[in-house]
Chains A and B, each alone.
Chain A
Amino acid sequence: MSLSSAVTIPVAALTLALATLDAPPLRAQDTEEHIGDPERGRVVYRSVGYCGNCHGWAGDGKSGTNLQAPVGPNLRETPLDTAALVEVIGCGRPGSPMPYHDRAAYRDGRCFEMDLDDFAPGTAPPRGKTFSDRDVANVVAYLETHVIGRGEPTYEECADFYDNPSARACAGLQ
């Protein structure tokens, strides 16, 4: 589908779609591909995607965010389900600074059946670090195991995140 350059996806509608459990995932993936490795996901979140630049190491949108990056939403309180997380990580979030990480995003119709040229100038999602399908699932597994619904971040979580009990980023939590 080719949309005119003036067409953009309303963010409110997108949010609703992403939060709706019974909305079919826009990407065809079998169930097995959604079973990720949370430990690998932590490494991808930390050192491949640098997700903490916007979401913080804790995913709360404040702990360890980068001065040079926009502040990301608090993932510890996200309403997104597995399919929605996969979609947002893969396709980004049009109308926001959330980048896409799927190597084929906006090239073969898998993301909202859109190409980057379909967006009005300045409204396309930015390109993030490229994740394999497996690593998208791994990051989702990490978020669902260690981040979502976990309350306030702790020193122990921080030390585990960085694999370093004396990480300077954790000093304020001790």
Chain B
Amino acid sequence: MKYHYLTACLIATASGMAHAEVTMERLLAAGSEEEAGNWLMIGKTFDLNRFSSLDQINTSNVEGMRLVMAAPIGGMEPSGFGVGAMQTTPLVDDGFLYLSDPWGTPYKYDLTSETAARPVWICDTGIDKDPSQGILLANRGLALSGNNVISVLPDGRVVACDSDTGDVVWDAQVATEVGEGFTNSPQVIGDKIIVGQSYGDWATRGWIAAIDANSGEELWRFFTIPAPGEAGSETWLCEQTGNPDCWKTGGGAAWVAGSYDPDSNLVFWGTGNPVPMYDPEYRPGDNLYTNSTVALNADTGELEWYFQYTPGDYMDYDEVGPALLVEANINGEDRKVMARFGRNGLFYTLDRNSGAYINSVAYVGNLNWTEGIDSKTGLPIEYDPEADLQSYAIGRITRAGDTATTCPNIQGGTNFFPTAYNPELGLAYAGGIEGCSDLSVREVDPGDVLPGNIFIGGAGVNSGEQTGSINAVDVSTNTVAATLNTTYPMYGGVVASADLLWAGHLDGTFAAYNASTLEELWSMNVGTSFSAAPITFLVNGTQYVAITGGGLGVGGGLAPELSNMQAANMLWVFALDS
């Protein structure tokens, strides 16, 4: 036994020294047979499909899954809003696994023994785990670039760590304004790293920027809230309010990394809600480019197109969730499309090159905020381009005291939750919330707005019980092909492999489903709440599935009956019983 362990260590060390740098060529080939055993970026591939062709584990044998490795992860120190959420998607290269804790600290684990997840290094970013910081602490994953592991931090820095040693290679303070920082993951494209300012319910202005992958030097920045005079600024009617600076705290944070199409060289990032989220009277207008997908030239940051899902929002329907890049036959025509689950309860399909609306379908069980979507524009049919303040089907919420109940819940539908697409079945998948929220306005004087502080302008509270669902949408036919209703809201991601779909639940259950029917085929409760997405990969030729678990985080507010579940950040690795 001892001999085997030593041998494994030696092999691991040798392998650790030898594994290939992560070049753009490898990233472009991340979905190929050669890279099938690895998981080189959070979405598996640039299209964020989170689909693995590995099929050693499949519907015929998945009931034989068991827990084979586990490791505790740090980063439990709370911010001002409590213990952070474990939302990282791990990465795997050649049997070594990389993940981040809620403070953005990168870890490397050696799985090559196949008996234990042994820590290789923890990169010390020097983060000040300041408990006064009023932020929702989370980190959604790392990126691999050459011989570096890239992480974005809540204090606004981007850090590169040497993937062999864990030493800091460079460290760049990219976000500099009060209240700015990162919770998402970086997106590596060649010699650039795209990052997005993530604190969007705070009094900040959103942006997406590219930095040099070798130095951290900033190359371009796209503000999701235009300044006066810039295109889109006409949708911020700040002058009407007596506060001409309302755009400066307009939100539109980009708190989930986007997808990338090498053919068009466009990145597709989602943007968050306008701020304050519940008080449109503070920021009349459509509020571009909030609640939108923006397609940006990866080299210049120039806006190629945008699509705004819910103009003049007052329901907190951020649209940061992943944009799946898919090729689908729609109405007899093979098209390159961008398909995504909206937080507003609708699944949208757009033309990937123009942003033109193709179709949409409701995927949540209860959607009341709009009577439907205009088949030409893709906008809600209640939308009035002449109106300063939109009034959707639930009516306005106002400073005068009008309230409303919106379905889905303010948190979705889906949210930041990683989604997946199985190209062999033509199905897109997402977990989400089933329920509604009660909305009200609380007027805040502009003089009382604290820069960088939380700023929501009202309240959105659960309206009754919240449950969950996993949905499979057929992109070609624009129909919901299968739905699985869940006891608790789903608050994490999914991954598709061969004929299976994998997902973790808030109550600590990790499960595998039939990819076509969503019938549960295997599950195990390990006791840590899941708000991350799983991955699947090979170690020494054997297929594994891994996911990180932790505390309930914001998702816990949707399931009060789970409130006694404690936080413990863990890596869980599963495989077939051999």
Mark A32-72 against chain B: 1 for CB-CB distance below 8 A, else 0.
00000000000000000000100001000011111110110
* Interface presence of B371 (CB below 8 A): no
Mark A138-174 against chain B: 1 for CB-CB distance below 8 A, else 0.
0000000000000000000000001010111111110
Using A172-B179, A172-B451 as known contacts, say yes or no to A67 and B130 having CB atoms under 8 A apart: no
What is the bound-complex CA distance between A68 and B560, given in angstroms? 13
Of B134, B442, B554, B557, chain A has the most CB atoms within 10 Å of the CB of: B134
What is the bound-complex CA distance between A52 and B442, given in angstroms? 19
Shortest beta-carbon distance, B61 to chain A, in Å?
42
User: Judging by beta carbons under 8 Å apart, are B456 and A67 in contact?
Assistant: yes
Using A70-B459, A172-B451, A172-B453 as known contacts, say yes or no to A64 and B132 having CB atoms under 8 A apart: yes
What is the bound-complex CA distance between A58 and B454, given in angstroms? 14
Shortest beta-carbon distance, A173 to chain B, in Å?
8
Who on chain B is nearest to A171 by CB? B178
Of B448, B454, B554, chain A has the most CB atoms within 10 Å of the CB of: B454
Using A67-B81, A67-B456, A68-B81 as known contacts, say yes or no to A169 and B179 having CB atoms under 8 A apart: no
Which secondary structure characterizes the binding site on chain B?
loop
* Interface presence of B201 (CB below 8 A): yes
User: Judging by beta carbons under 8 Å apart, are A169 and B80 in contact?
Assistant: yes
What is the bound-complex CA distance between A96 and B456, given in angstroms? 20
User: Judging by beta carbons under 8 Å apart, are A66 and B130 in contact?
Assistant: no
Who on chain A is nearest to B455 by CB? A62
Using A172-B179, A172-B453 as known contacts, say yes or no to A64 and B557 having CB atoms under 8 A apart: no
Who on chain A is nearest to B444 by CB? A62
For B, the interface residue count at a CB cutoff of 8 angstroms equals 26
What is the bound-complex CA distance between A55 and B419, given in angstroms? 37
* Interface presence of B59 (CB below 8 A): no
What is the bound-complex CA distance between A167 and B442, given in angstroms? 28
What is the bound-complex CA distance between A7 and B473, given in angstroms? 49
Using A63-B450, A65-B454, A168-B130 as known contacts, say yes or no to A71 and B179 having CB atoms under 8 A apart: no
Of A66, A70, A162, A171, chain B has the most CB atoms within 10 Å of the CB of: A171
User: Judging by beta carbons under 8 Å apart, are B442 and A71 in contact?
Assistant: yes
Residues of B within 8 A of A71 (CB): 442, 459
Shortest beta-carbon distance, A128 to chain B, in Å?
13
* Interface presence of B133 (CB below 8 A): yes
Who on chain A is nearest to B553 by CB? A68
User: Judging by beta carbons under 8 Å apart, are B132 and A66 in contact?
Assistant: no
Who on chain A is nearest to B442 by CB? A71
Shortest beta-carbon distance, B397 to chain A, in Å?
16
Residues of A within 8 A of B134 (CB): 64-67, 168-169
User: Judging by beta carbons under 8 Å apart, are A172 and B452 in contact?
Assistant: yes
Residues of B within 8 A of A57 (CB): 132
Residues of A within 8 A of B442 (CB): 71
What is the bound-complex CA distance between A107 and B386, given in angstroms? 59
Using A66-B81, A67-B81, A67-B201 as known contacts, say yes or no to A168 and B456 having CB atoms under 8 A apart: no
What is the bound-complex CA distance between A52 and B136, given in angstroms? 15
Using A168-B133, A169-B132, A172-B178 as known contacts, say yes or no to A64 and B80 having CB atoms under 8 A apart: yes
The size bracket of the interface on A is 20 to 34
Mark B132-153 against chain A: 1 for CB-CB distance below 8 A, else 0.
1110100000000000000000
Shortest beta-carbon distance, A52 to chain B, in Å?
8
Residues of A within 8 A of B130 (CB): 164, 166-169
What is the bound-complex CA distance between A162 and B79, given in angstroms? 12
What is the bound-complex CA distance between A12 and B322, given in angstroms? 48
Shortest beta-carbon distance, A75 to chain B, in Å?
16
What is the bound-complex CA distance between A65 and B82, given in angstroms? 12
Residues of A within 8 A of B131 (CB): 162
User: Judging by beta carbons under 8 Å apart, are A66 and B554 in contact?
Assistant: no
Total of A-B residue pairs, C-beta within 8 Å? 63
Who on chain B is nearest to A97 by CB? B461
User: Judging by beta carbons under 8 Å apart, are B132 and A164 in contact?
Assistant: yes
Residues of chain B from 75 to 125 with CB closer than 8 A to chain A in the complex: 80-82
What is the bound-complex CA distance between A119 and B242, given in angstroms? 45
What is the bound-complex CA distance between A39 and B557, given in angstroms? 32
What is the bound-complex CA distance between A162 and B442, given in angstroms? 28
Residues of B within 8 A of A170 (CB): 132
What is the bound-complex CA distance between A167 and B453, given in angstroms? 13
Mark B339-350 against chain A: 1 for CB-CB distance below 8 A, else 0.
000000000000
Residues of chain A from 69 to 104 with CB closer than 8 A to chain B in the complex: 70-71
Residues of B within 8 A of A169 (CB): 80, 130, 132-134
Across the interface, A67 reaches (CB within 8 A) one of B128, B136, B444, namely B136
Residues of B within 8 A of A68 (CB): 81-82, 554, 557
Mark B431-453 against chain A: 1 for CB-CB distance below 8 A, else 0.
00000000000101000101111
Shortest beta-carbon distance, A150 to chain B, in Å?
16
Residues of A within 8 A of B454 (CB): 65-67
What is the bound-complex CA distance between A63 and B450, given in angstroms? 8
Residues of B within 8 A of A171 (CB): 178, 452
Using A168-B132, A169-B132 as known contacts, say yes or no to A63 and B453 having CB atoms under 8 A apart: yes
Mark B544-578 against chain A: 1 for CB-CB distance below 8 A, else 0.
00000000001001000000000000000000000
What is the bound-complex CA distance between A52 and B79, given in angstroms? 13
Residues of A within 8 A of B155 (CB): 168
Of A64, A67, A166, chain B has the most CB atoms within 10 Å of the CB of: A67
Shortest beta-carbon distance, A123 to chain B, in Å?
15
Who on chain B is nearest to A71 by CB? B442
Mark B520-556 against chain A: 1 for CB-CB distance below 8 A, else 0.
0000000000000000000000000000000000100
Shortest beta-carbon distance, B452 to chain A, in Å?
5
Using A64-B80, A67-B81, A68-B557 as known contacts, say yes or no to A162 and B132 having CB atoms under 8 A apart: yes
Residues of A within 8 A of B136 (CB): 67
What is the bound-complex CA distance between A169 and B557, given in angstroms? 24
Of B80, B133, B450, chain A has the most CB atoms within 10 Å of the CB of: B80
Please list 28 pairs of residues, one from A and one from B, whose beta carbons are closer than 8 Å in the complex, sorted by A's number. A52-B80, A57-B132, A62-B444, A62-B450, A63-B453, A64-B134, A64-B453, A65-B134, A66-B82, A67-B81, A67-B454, A67-B554, A68-B82, A68-B557, A70-B459, A162-B131, A164-B130, A164-B132, A167-B130, A167-B133, A168-B155, A169-B130, A169-B133, A171-B178, A172-B178, A172-B450, A172-B451, A173-B450
Q: Tell me the B residues contacting A by CB distance below 8 Å.
A: 80-82, 128, 130-134, 136, 155, 178-179, 201, 442, 444, 448, 450-454, 456, 459, 554, 557
Leading 9 A-B pairs by shortest Cβ distance = A169-B132, A167-B132, A168-B133, A162-B132, A172-B451, A168-B130, A172-B450, A171-B178, A67-B454
Can you add 14 more A-B contacts, CB < 8 Å, to A167-B132, A168-B130?
A: A62-B453, A64-B132, A64-B134, A64-B453, A65-B134, A67-B201, A162-B131, A162-B132, A164-B130, A167-B130, A168-B133, A171-B178, A172-B450, A172-B452
